[in-house]
Amino acid sequence: MIDLRFTARLAAMWAALLGGFVACASYTAETAAMREAFSRGDYDQALASLEKSGIKSRAQDRLLWHLESATILDRKGDYDQSRDLWLKADRIADELFTISIKKTATSFVVSESSTDYEGEDYEQVAIHSMLAHQFISQERLAEARVEARRINTKLSEINQKFNPDGKYRYREDAHARYLSGIIFEALGELDSAIVDYEKARVLYEGDFSGYVLGGVPSGVIQGLYRCLLLRGRTDRIGFVTNRYANILGSTRSAGKYGEFVTSGEIVVIHELGRVARKVAREEFLTIGDQLVRFSSPMIRPNPIQDLGTGVTLDSKGFIRAENTVYFDAIAKDSLENRRGRMIAKQMSRLLLKGQINYQARREFGPLGGLAANVLTLAAETADTRSWSTLPQAFYVTRVRVTPGTYNIIVRTNAQDRAMTVTVPRGGIQILRSFDR
């Protein structure tokens, strides 16, 4: 006799498995129209497409809905609403940082896509990077500095929980330290600027070296040198000038103390491209009389398509920007760092699904077992959800000028924007730009 209670449980489980499969398979397709509109700069259409996608109504995708919506609104210039959504996204990520037992159990039995999307490590951190850049665009430097600080605070929290052995390279963000150093310098807090420039220098030459193109940015060294000179830190100036003579050659010859005091600087933070998206990696194994499917997400970093990024001044020509962070490389490492945790959960899930297949075969015969095996195979799909509107890379351009008003052209990946900038005596004017 068939156990009706088991039949009901099996039917419910199959429905859940199918639901998980459909949800995972549809996210990338559902957001395709949004991404296309976003890439061509049609932000109203991007918002409309995101609204139509159904992501907003799915509880497990609420973090992604906030992240994507906030980025589109930011590009549109609706800073208040954008910032509100990013801050809410940060709170959601914090809430999901420790996954509930109920949600974990569901992911064991169904699939990763059936659970709340928590955000990758780099995505949780990038919320604060984007907030810092947005505050910069509004000339709210004190608030930008707070967000830059939170980047490394968030990284510390993540690493304490998941990487206590300290082997994960993404433990501190060099771009955040560099950005913080620039802000401190602009605010006249030179001792704090020295601390952050120095930490950025060490990171760019150490653990962070794989996440930047071109090595330590010369702007880090020049900013550090200027602050050391203005503060009279002869104990460090010798080390910096000897180690980075190739970077500081022209700066030292032109940059006497008095000139550094009176001159100003234009700094532009550039955001380029879109971070690489996750794709599924599939493997099939035969265990006993069952076909087992291993499906996991992976990221293949894409080359940065920089068609020209920097600043043009009539008196100086075109000054090229320097790469300060390459998110594709961080995204790949972030995903690989948690692969062990993913495999452990997947093995537990496959064992449970194997029991479902076995029970189905016992209760319903070979065809029932085959049907269960096919459905569990279909549901075992990689979770390829991600923050698809996040930039691929950040760049920084630094141009030292005499005090005055300048007509400049800011170029970000061949997208030009004419601007008029007034630079005060000894001051730093920080700007933000993006390609789309």
**286-300 residue pLDDT tens:** 655 555 666 778 899
The whole-number pLDDT of residue 404 equals: 95
43 domain residue, yes or no: no
Q: What is the mean pLDDT of residues 44-71?
A: 93
15 or 145, greater pLDDT: 145
Alpha-carbon separation of residue 346 from 16, 112, 262, 340, 374 (angstroms): 16, 9, 61, 10, 17
pLDDT reading at 31 higher than 80: yes
Within 10 angstroms of residue 192's Cβ, the number of other Cβ atoms is 17
**Measured between alpha carbons, how far is 286 from 390 in angstroms, rounded to an integer?**
39
pLDDT reading at 379 higher than 60: no
**Measured between alpha carbons, how far is 177 from 202 in angstroms, rounded to an integer?**
10
Backbone region of residue 355 per phi and psi (left: phi > 0; alpha: psi in -120 to 50; beta: other values): alpha
The whole-number pLDDT of residue 376 equals: 53
Where helices occur in 187-323 by DSSP H, the ranges are 190-205, 218-230, 234-243, 245-254, 257-262
Structural domain of residue 385, as residue ranges?
A: 4-30+97-434
Given CA atoms 228, 263, 178, 414 in this order, what sign does their dihedral have? negative
276 domain residue, yes or no: yes
pLDDT reading at 112 higher than 90: no
33 or 171, greater pLDDT: 33
Q: Which helix (H) or strand (E) holds 408?
A: strand 404-412
Within 10 angstroms of residue 418's Cβ, the number of other Cβ atoms is 9
90 domain residue, yes or no: no
pLDDT reading at 1 higher than 50: no
The whole-number pLDDT of residue 71 equals: 98
- Give residue 133's pLDDT band: very low, low, confident or very high (50, 70, 90): very high
pLDDT reading at 338 higher than 80: no
Within 10 angstroms of residue 293's Cβ, the number of other Cβ atoms is 17
| Residue 303: partners with Cβ closer than 8 Å, 6 or more residues away | none
182 or 165, greater pLDDT: 182
Looking at residue 165, what DSSP letter applies?
T
**Which of 360-364, 366-370, 386-390 has the weakest average pLDDT?**
366-370
Buried b (16+ CB within 10 A) or exposed e, 215-253: ebbbbbbbbbbbbbbbeebeebbeebbeebeebbeebbe
209 domain residue, yes or no: yes
The whole-number pLDDT of residue 98 equals: 62
Q: What is the mean pLDDT of residues 266-274?
A: 97
Which residues does residue 416 pair with via DSSP β-bridges, in sequence order? 411
Q: What is the mean pLDDT of residues 99-126?
A: 67
pLDDT reading at 411 higher than 60: yes
**Measured between alpha carbons, how far is 325 from 366 in angstroms, rounded to an integer?**
55
pLDDT reading at 311 higher than 80: yes
pLDDT reading at 106 higher than 70: no
315 or 68, greater pLDDT: 68
In tens, the pLDDT along 277-286 reads: 988 877 665 6
107 or 169, greater pLDDT: 169
**Measured between alpha carbons, how far is 406 from 393 in angstroms, rounded to an integer?**
27
pLDDT reading at 110 higher than 70: no
In tens, the pLDDT along 135-157 reads: 999 999 999 999 999 998 888 88
Alpha-carbon separation of residue 68 from 135, 270, 397 (angstroms): 18, 19, 27
Give the number of domains in the chain. 1
**Which of 152-161, 234-243, 334-343, 399-408 has the weakest average pLDDT?**
334-343
45 domain residue, yes or no: no
The whole-number pLDDT of residue 115 equals: 78
The whole-number pLDDT of residue 260 equals: 77
The whole-number pLDDT of residue 244 equals: 93
Average pLDDT of the residues of the chain: 83
**Measured between alpha carbons, how far is 22 from 355 in angstroms, rounded to an integer?**
22
Alpha-carbon separation of residue 431 from 23, 141, 229, 267, 408 (angstroms): 40, 11, 25, 6, 12
Q: What is the pTM of this model?
A: 0.84
Q: Which helix (H) or strand (E) holds 374?
A: helix 339-379
The whole-number pLDDT of residue 357 equals: 56
53 domain residue, yes or no: no
The whole-number pLDDT of residue 163 equals: 66
- Give residue 4's pLDDT band: very low, low, confident or very high (50, 70, 90): very low
Which residue, among 184, 187, 224, has the nearest Cα to 202 in the 3D structure?
A: 224
With tokens 């499917």, the residue in question is 293
